[in-house]
Structure 1
Amino acid sequence: MSLEFEETAESVGEILEDAAVDTEGAEQPAPPSSVGAIASDNHRERFEAPEITRMVDLPPYDWILTGSSGVVKAPLVIEDFACVVGHVTHIKGDFQKEDIEVQDVPRMVESQSIELEVWVLCTGRVRDRSKVHLADLIGTARKALPGARVHNRPRLTTAAIIEALYERQNSDELLSGGDVSNEQQDFDDIGRYALANKVSDIHIEADRESAQILMRQHGRLRHYKDLAPERARAICSAAYNTLTESGSTRDSFNERIFQNAVIDRPYEEGRVRFRYASMPVAPEGFNVVLRLLPIGVEADHQSYEDLGYAESHVRDIRRAMGKSSGVFIIAGTTGSGKSTTLQNAIEGIAMERPDQKIRTIEEPVEYRIRGASQTPVVRDESKAGDGKSENKPFVDAIKAALRSDPDVLMIGEIRDTVTAELAIQAAQTGHQVATTIHADAWSGVVDRLNLIDIDGGTLSQPGLISGLAYQKLMPVLCDHCKIPAEEWARENAGTPEQKSMIGRLSEIQNNDLDGIYFSKQNGCPECNGVGIVGQTVCAEVALPNNAMLRAIRQGDIIEARKAWRDQRSEEPGDMTGRTAFEHAIYKMRKGICDPRDIEHRFMMLDELFHLDD
C-alpha cells in the first residue's frame, strides 16, 4: 500500500515571497526582519536559528542527492551550504532499497518503482539571503525526480551538518569502490562505537599470545573486546599507514618504536580526530592509544552548575570573567574536562554580551561555540620535538587574532613561553583572555608558568590574573543501582586493601556511612551495565587577593596557598578556599561519587586531616 502525502502549505513561489527580486531575477537587499535583522549597535547579522543541530535529528534519508555523485545539481553559490536528501517510503517490486544505486533513483521514481520523499537542507544564511537560488534548487530537484514528493519548505541545519553529510557521501563512495580494507572498516566500527558511547580514549593492547581493546568511558577503563594479536596488528597497521593525515607521520607502522600521528574520520554521528600514540611493550608486544577529539560538534550549552561547579565557584568565576581585562586560567590534567568548561564559559559570555567580538584559537575546534569566531589550528606533526617550529601555527594565529580587534580572546592552551607571553600581552592591552594549562592545582598554574620563564613579578601585577581554577572529572553513580556503603562493606570488604579503605572512610565520617554509596560492578539496564551515568567536575577556584599576590611576587607559593585557605567558611557547601579533593568529598557525602574513585583520582580519604600540614 502506497503512502499518501499531504501537500505542504508553502509553494516554491512562496519561498520567494518578501525577497526583493528585480525583473531580471537578481537578488536585492531585503528589509530587516525580526530574525534576519542587522543589529544597529553591533552590526552583527542574525539568521534564523537551525532546527537540526545533530545528525540524529536529520529526517530519515537513504541517499544524498546533491554533491559529487548526486543526481541534483545545486547552484554553485550555495552548494556548500545546502543539500538534498531522499528517503524511500514504498517499493513496488522484488528488490531491496540497498540494491538501488543513486544514479538509478530518477528512473525508478519516474517509473513508480519506488516512492521517494525529498528534503532540502540548508543553513539559515541561505534561507534568509539566497531564496532565489534555494527556489532554483527545489525546482531542479522536482525536474530531476519527477513524481517524487519534494518538500517545498527547507529544513534549517548548520554548515557543519551539511559538511558531515558530504563527507559521508565521499566515504560511501570509497566503500562502494572497494578501496577500503576490512581493517579500515574495523577501525571505523570501533571509532563509531566509541563516539556514540562518549569514550574518551581507546586502548589497543597486543602481545605474542593475545590482544584486547579497552575503552575509557566516564573516566573508567573498561574491556571492549578480545581479538587475535594478528588482527590487532593489522588494524593498527592499516590505520597508521592509510588513514593518518598527510604530514603527521614520517614512516610506516612499526610496533617496535614509538610513533605518533593524527587520524581524521567523518562518521554519521560527527567528525572525529584521533590522536594516535603507540609504544613497544615487552615481550614482543605493543600498545596503541587513540584519544578521541570530536570536531565541530553542536552540543547543548552547559552552565557551570551543569558541569558540576559549586555555587561559590560559580560566583567567583563570574566575578573573574566579568572583568574587562585579565587572564582567567583553567588548569587540569589530560582528560579533566578543562576544554569543555572553557568552551561553555566562552559561549556563556557570547550569550550575555552579543555586542562584543569573541575570538578563539583552538587545536582543533572540538565544539561549536555559538556567538564566537573560532579559528582552528593544526600543529606541524612532522616537526614534533622541535617546539618552536611545531607551535608556530598556534603562535601566528594568536598574533593575528590580537590584530583583529577582539573584546574576548580564548586561547585553547598555554603550551610554551611564547603562548604565555602573548596571553599576558593581550590582557595588558585591555583584553579579556581565557585559556587552559596543564597543572595539578590552581597554585600549580603559578609553578608551571614559572617553569616556562614567566616570573612572579609579572604574575603578581594587580589585575593581570583575574582568576585561576583547577578541575578534575569524577564518575557519577547511577541512582538506580548504586549500593549503600554499609551493604557494600558487608559484601565486599574481604581483602586487606578494601578493609583499610572502609576504615579510612569510617574515620572521616565519624563511623556514620549513611548517604555514602558505591557503584555496582555490572550496573543495571538504566546505566547500560556500567554503574556510572556520566562525570562531574570537582574543582577549586582562586581569585588572587593582595596577600596572595605578595606571596607570588616573593616566590612563596605555600604562603599564597595559605592566604587562599584562610578564606574558608564553616558552611559545608561553600567551596571558597577549599580544594578539589574537598569538593569531591562533599559530593561523596551527597551520594554522587564513589569513595574508591576519590582515592584513585586524588589521594587516600584520611588525607583530609592533613591538607594544611
Structure 2
Amino acid sequence: MSEHNDAVLLYHNPETTAHELLVDSQQRTDVAVQQRVMSLMEENPGVTMRLVTRSELLRCSEMARQLSEQGEKGLRLEDIKKEVSSRQGDILNYFMVAKEIGASDIHGTTLPGLTRIEMRVHGELETISELAEEDGKAQAATIILSMCDVTEPQFYAGRKQDGRVAAKFLRKVGLFGARYSHTPTADGLHFVMRVIPDDGDVVPTLEKLGFLPEQIRLIKRILRLPEGLIILSGPTGAGKSTTLRACSDLYLGRT
C-alpha cells in the first residue's frame, strides 16, 4: 500500500495492463487520502482513479505483492524442456476427454497447493481432475511455449496471455481448433482452452443448428450483401464458432 495511507494503491491491473489509482471509497473524504491521491496523479499523468471497497483494495494489494515477488522474468521453452513431452500428453488427454463428453472449453484454476481442472458441458462446469499447484502452472507454460503457433516466445504467469494451439496437435485428437488464454488471479492463475470440434467435410447446416426458416432467409440475405459488418455474440458454448462455420460454408458455396 501507500507509505502515507493504506487507503490508496497505485495498481498495475494485470487484466487490462492499465495503471489505476485505487481509493478506499469509505475514506475518500479524508484530507490525507485526498492529498495522497493528488500527489500520485501528478507523478503519474494519465492514471485512472477508481473508488473501490476495502476488501477489493486489500485483494489488489495482495495480488500486486505476489506479482512483485514473481518478478517480470518469463519462462522460455528451454526452462521446461525436460518435462515438455509428458505435459503435452496431459494436455492432449484433456482435449480427448473434452471431445468425448462434448465439452465446449477446458478450465484450469491454480490455488494455494492445488490446481483444479474443469470442463464446461451444456453450460455447467464439471471437475475432471485435481493436481498440484505447480503442475497446473507447468501445464499452462507448456501450452504457451510448445503447443501454440501464434503466441509470445515467453510464458508470463503475472499477466494475461493467449495463443492458438497448433494444428499438428489438434489433428491428433480430431479437433478443428483450440484457443488458449490465461489471467492471473489473487490466488494464482486461471487458464482456459476453447475447444472447437472437427466435423470434417460435414459442416452443420443452419437448419440442423435450430434456426427458424425466417431466420435462415434473413441470414442468407445478409450474406449476399456486398459490404458491412456482421457481429455474432453470445455466452461461452452458445454455438458462435459452429454458426460461423455454417455461414462460411453457405458463403463459399455461392462463390
Query: What TM-score range do you get, normalising by the shorter chain?
Result: 0.5 to 0.7
Among 234, 241, 249, the alignment partner of 2:152 is: 249
Which residue of 2 is the match for residue 347 of structure 1?
A: 249
1:259/1:324 Cα in 2 relative to 1: closer, same or farther (>3 Å)? closer
The residue that corresponds to 2:216 in the other structure is: 314
What whole-Å deviation, never above 9, does each CA across 1:501-558 have from its counterpart, x for those lacking one? xxxxxxxxxxxxxxxxxxxxxxxxxxxxxxxxxxxxxxxxxxxxxxxxxxxxxxxxxx
Higher relative contact order (CA 8 A, sep 6+): 2
**CA contact 1:205–1:288 (8 Å) conserved in 2:** yes
How far the C-alpha of 1:323 sits from its partner, in A, is: 5.1
Q: What is aligned with 2:162?
A: 260
| Unaligned ranges ≥5, structure 1 | 1-177, 359-613
Aligned counterpart, 1:331:
232
Aligned pairs (5 A) from 1:66-145:
none
Query: Which residue identity lines up with residue 144 of structure 2 in the other structure?
Result: Y
Contact preservation (8 Å) 2:116, 2:131: yes
The runs of 5 or more residues in structure 2 that have no matched partner are 1-81
**Cα displacement (A) at 1:316:** 3.4
SS in 2 for 1:306: coil
Select 2:108's aligned residue among 204, 220, 223: 204
Distance 1:212 1:225 in 2: 6
Structure 2 CA distance, aligned partners of 1:187 and 1:322?
A: 37
Q: Does residue 289 of structure 1 match 2:192?
A: yes
The match for 2:96 among 192, 213, 226 is 192
- Say if 1:314 and 1:209 are closer, same or farther in 2 by CA, change over 3 A: same
Measure how far apart 1:312 and its partner are: 3.0
Q: Aligned in 2, Cα 1:332/1:281: closer, same or farther, shift over 3 Å? A: same
Find the structure with the greater CA-based Rg: 1
Per-residue CA distance 1:246-300 (angstroms, 9 max, x = gap): x61142x3323322223211444424543221122113x11111122456x4153
Runs of at least 4 residues off by over 6 Å = none
Q: How far does the alpha carbon of each residue in 1:194-240 deviate from its partner, in whole angstroms, 9 at most, with x for none?
A: 23333221110011132211111233222212222222122222222
| 1:214–1:223 contact (8 Å) kept in structure 2 | yes
Distance 1:301 1:286 in 2: 35
Query: How far does the alpha carbon of each residue in 1:534-583 deviate from its partner, in whole angstroms, 9 at most, with x for none?
Result: xxxxxxxxxxxxxxxxxxxxxxxxxxxxxxxxxxxxxxxxxxxxxxxxxx
Residue 305 of structure 1: which of 195, 207, 213 is its match?
Answer: 207
Name the structure 1 match of 2:183.
Answer: 279
* Residues 484-523 of structure 1: pairs in structure 2 closer than 5 A: none
The answer as to whether partners of 1:321 and 1:328 remain within 8 angstroms in 2 is no
TM-score of the superposed pair, with normalisation by structure 1: 0.25
Is this contact kept in 2: 1:192–1:267, CA < 8 A?
no
1:215 to 109, 119, 139: 119
Once residues 142 and 225 of structure 2 are traced to their aligned partners in structure 1, the CA distance between those partners, rounded to angstroms, is 50
Identity of aligned residues (%): 25
| Change beyond 3 A, Cα 1:207–1:310 | same
Over the aligned positions, Cα root-mean-square deviation in angstroms equals: 3.1
Equivalent residue of 1:237, what SS? helix
1:341: how far off?
Answer: 2.2
TM score, norm. by length of structure 2: 0.55
CA shift, 1:348, in A, is 4.0
For 1:256 and 1:185, locate their aligned partners in 2 and report how far apart those are by CA, in whole Å. 25
**1: distance between equivalents of 2:218 and 2:130?**
48
Q: Secondary structure at the match of 1:305?
A: coil
Corresponding position of 1:493: none
In structure 2, do the counterparts of structure 1 residues 193 and 326 end up closer, same or farther at CA, with 3 Å as the change threshold?
same
Letter in 1 for 2:120: R
Task: Decide whether aligned partners of structure 1 residues 311 and 230 sit closer, same or farther in structure 2, where only a CA change above 3 A counts.
Answer: same
Counterpart CA distance in 2 for 1:308 and 1:202 is 25
Paired with 1:263 and 1:207, the residues of 2 have a C-alpha distance of 25
Give 1:303 deviation, angstroms. Answer: 3.1
- Residues 196, 269 of structure 1: 8 Å contact kept: no
What is the alpha-carbon distance in structure 1 between the residues aligned to residue 130 and residue 147 of structure 2?
A: 23
Query: Does the residue aligned with 2:242 lie in a helix, a strand or coil?
Result: helix
